[in-house]
Amino acid sequence: MGLPEKLKLVQSLMAAGDERARRVYQTLGVYLGHGLAHYADFYAFENVLTLGRVTTGAGGEMLVDTAREVLRVEYPELASRIAFHTPEEKDKRGGQAVAAASLPAIRR
């Protein structure tokens, strides 16, 4: 099974209330929360734009909520300055294009 098919399966399991799928999304949220804290050691950012098919549906909401909770509990100073932004469902899947279009120009 390819990665897109695996994601579709996990999403369908999540929609059906499967505990295994819930744990997958929680784990991804924990990784995201700690990953953002690590990036904050190098970059001064205040906004996180969550994009991509993995953020679709209840699982995506759980992923972002878990990341917020990790920041709140483990990195409260970061949690107070980082805002998560999630576009409408129909706009999430074009995430790479949105991210690329929003990058600032680097002048040398």
The domains of the chain are located at 3-97
**Relative orientation angle of helices 57-74 and 3-15, to the nearest 10 degrees:** 90
More reliable by pLDDT, 25 or 104 = 25
Specify the pLDDT at position 52. 80
Query: Tens digits of per-residue pLDDT, 48-80?
Result: 988 888 888 899 999 999 999 999 999 999 999
In this model, does residue 96 exceed pLDDT 70? no
**Relative orientation angle of helices 3-15 and 19-40, to the nearest 10 degrees:** 120
Specify the pLDDT at position 21. 96
- Rounded Cα distance between 80 and 3, Å, is 34
Specify the pLDDT at position 38. 97
Other CB atoms within 10 A of residue 62 CB:
19
